[in-house]
Chain A
């Protein structure tokens, strides 16, 4: 079995990513806080801002998945989202780990200067995160990944998400939302990223929008379908039907 290091596994995505991988991979899940769920693998307490801890956790791994995120506090946001990526990439270099999956919010690439103006937004455009703390710190982390992938033989896939919903608790929004995905559907993309042959990725740094098929077409998920084989579920469609909104 491939050995997979998950950084930030006790966050919001961990409970959906870990079950999606647990049966087919040896997982080493890490987070700065304890993990409150059962799985087959190992858990370690790791601060992604501490290089020595990340380096140690990455030893012997075949791939790294970075789910770590912290949004509000400036010091912690830079520690986790920017320095965390720097430490992850240095650890990948040190241990010859070729496969890295990074994650972030939609505005890692498409900040307000895109979202407020444009449609059919994909990921193959220059990042414009703006000065929003969450967006910029994640975008800096992504830029670090890109620079490392250009210099070293490391393949970074970055999965961008936006709003998550649970199909069992669908309530209409007061205003239109450009991007949504069910929590469980988010976990389905990670096995695809771990199994895709690296030579099938167009470059060593590829970013994917991971969202449901939404009828308004502001954001585009075609690349994730075409390259990764990602299949969005139709479990949230009621959100944009008049029958639900009325």
Chain B
């Protein structure tokens, strides 16, 4: 699991630990993490060694705090490519990429936008970079080199910490994201699969119908306005 410095990655690792052995990695040293390996995700043997023996890679793909716009683009293109190429070289078949539903928010809110709709990223680095990571992974899947599942996440929150905040239709509970990742590692999602991961409430911005049927995703936290 990449981006070990991100709170989301640490939460996901903790949630997956009972059933999975999780190796965490980050481009910088992150203290107090079990089974941590620092990796710049360069094109060298160290990236191969990082993924050797794994069953799957969960590419959380979160930039480091303070990353410049160029560094964000670089991380999600070049490093994603290196990670996928290393996975191919080491026989790791499955990659789960955590992307963002922000690549779909340019559509009219009144539309029922699904995974079949064309992404409409903006040029803002955090959103464009996620789109480019999807682009990169898709080519590995297209060439039958990897089985890639893309989970486009809403705004990940801890449910109990947003009770008093103004409602956001993109909210998704961290625990539900962990469940989606766990389900993705468990079921066969084929060579290329994209899933929208959010709340299943009526007021949620995006439908999670495909994730429910394809992954068995069953979100627990149903955020509602007011």
Interface set of A (CB-CB < 8 Å, partner B): 49, 51, 74-75, 78-79, 82-83, 86-87, 89-90, 93, 111-113, 128-131, 133, 136-137, 139-140, 143-144, 147-148, 150-152
Interface: B20 (CB within 8 A): no
B142-195, CB < 8 A from A: 142-143, 145
Minimum C-beta distance from B129 to chain A (A): 10
Interface: B206 (CB within 8 A): no
Is there contact, CB below 8 Å, between B70 and A78? no
The stretch of B11-19, B58-66, B74-82, B196-204 in contact with A is B74-82
Interface: B55 (CB within 8 A): no
Is there contact, CB below 8 Å, between B139 and A129? yes
Is there contact, CB below 8 Å, between B123 and A151? yes
Interface: B136 (CB within 8 A): yes
Assuming the A-B contacts A83-B70, A140-B132, A147-B131, are A130 and B139 also in contact, with contact meaning beta carbons closer than 8 angstroms in the complex? yes
Is there contact, CB below 8 Å, between B123 and A152? yes
Interface: B29 (CB within 8 A): no
Partner of B121, one of A111, A139, A147: A147
Instruction: Determine the main DSSP class of B at the interface with A.
Output: helix
Interface: B217 (CB within 8 A): no
Partner of A148, one of B42, B74, B123: B123
CA distance A74 to B73 in the complex (A): 15
The contact size tier of chain B is 20 to 34
CA distance A111 to B74 in the complex (A): 23
Interface: B107 (CB within 8 A): no
Is there contact, CB below 8 Å, between A87 and B78? no
Interface set of B (CB-CB < 8 Å, partner A): 42-43, 69-70, 73-74, 77-78, 81-82, 84-85, 120-123, 128, 131-132, 135-136, 139-140, 142-143, 145
CA distance A140 to B135 in the complex (A): 8
Chain B positions within 8 Å of A152 at CB level: 123
Closest 8 CB pairs of A and B: A78-B78, A74-B43, A151-B123, A148-B123, A131-B139, A82-B77, A86-B73, A147-B123
Q: A78-B81, A144-B128, A148-B123 are in contact. List 11 more A-B contacts (CB 8 A).
A: A51-B70, A74-B78, A75-B43, A78-B74, A82-B73, A83-B70, A86-B69, A113-B142, A143-B131, A144-B123, A152-B123
Nearest to A85 among chain B residues (CB) is B73
Minimum C-beta distance from B29 to chain A (A): 22
Chain A positions within 8 Å of B74 at CB level: 78-79, 83
Chain B positions within 8 Å of A143 at CB level: 131-132, 135
Partner of B82, one of A74, A113, A150: A74
CA distance A150 to B70 in the complex (A): 20
Minimum C-beta distance from B186 to chain A (A): 27
Is there contact, CB below 8 Å, between A87 and B70? yes
Chain B positions within 8 Å of A129 at CB level: 139
Chain A positions within 8 Å of B122 at CB level: 147, 151
Chain A positions within 8 Å of B123 at CB level: 89, 93, 144, 147-148, 151-152
Chain A positions within 8 Å of B145 at CB level: 131
Is there contact, CB below 8 Å, between A140 and B143? no
Is there contact, CB below 8 Å, between B42 and A75? yes
CA distance A34 to B136 in the complex (A): 33
CA distance A136 to B131 in the complex (A): 14
Chain B positions within 8 Å of A87 at CB level: 70
